Amino acid sequence: MLSKIKIIYTNIWAWMEKNPKAFYKYAMFILIPLFIISLYFSYKHPHKIYTNTIPIISTKNVKPTIPHKTNRIVEPIINELIELKSKHETIGLNSEDSLRIKYLINRYNELK
């Protein structure tokens, strides 16, 4: 089996040495369409970039946070806002309550 492959290889090599123009022509007939097809597929079907794989570059203003820690911090803020809403519906709000609401909303937006 191996000897047959060697014989075929040597025959092809000998033909290539005797007919370089024909070999070049056949090679170009194969390579040029493959190149055109690869360009077509690269433009029609570009590689997808998944946002999960791209690292997030943090700036000075953005602090890296861990989601479960922010959820623990956000829950009391939401609960207090709900309490202030119920207070607004029943009694009404004073100036201290409205300032507290502004502070809680700003804090919530910073965390989210």
Residue 58: DSSP 8-state: P
What is the per-residue pLDDT across 35-44, written as a single tens digit (0 to 9) for each?
999 999 888 8
Residue 94, both tokens: 């004073």
What global pTM score does this model have?
0.40
Place of tokens 């203003």: 61
What integer is the mean pLDDT of 77-83? Answer: 89
In the chain, the percentage of residues whose pLDDT exceeds 70 is 79
Give residue for tokens 């943090």.
58
Count of CB atoms within 10 A of residue 23's CB? 14
- With bands split at pLDDT 50, 70 and 90, how would you rate the model's confidence at 73? confident
pLDDT over 90 at 33, yes or no: yes
pLDDT, tens only, 9-28:
999 999 999 999 999 999 99
Domains of the chain, residue spans: 2-44, 67-111
**What is the rounded CA–CA span in Å between residue 12 and residue 69?**
69
The mean pLDDT value for 92-98 works out to: 85
The pLDDT of 84-88, averaged and rounded, is 86
Distance CA 4, CA 102 (A): 86
Element (H, E) at 25: helix 20-44
Residue 29 has what pLDDT? 96
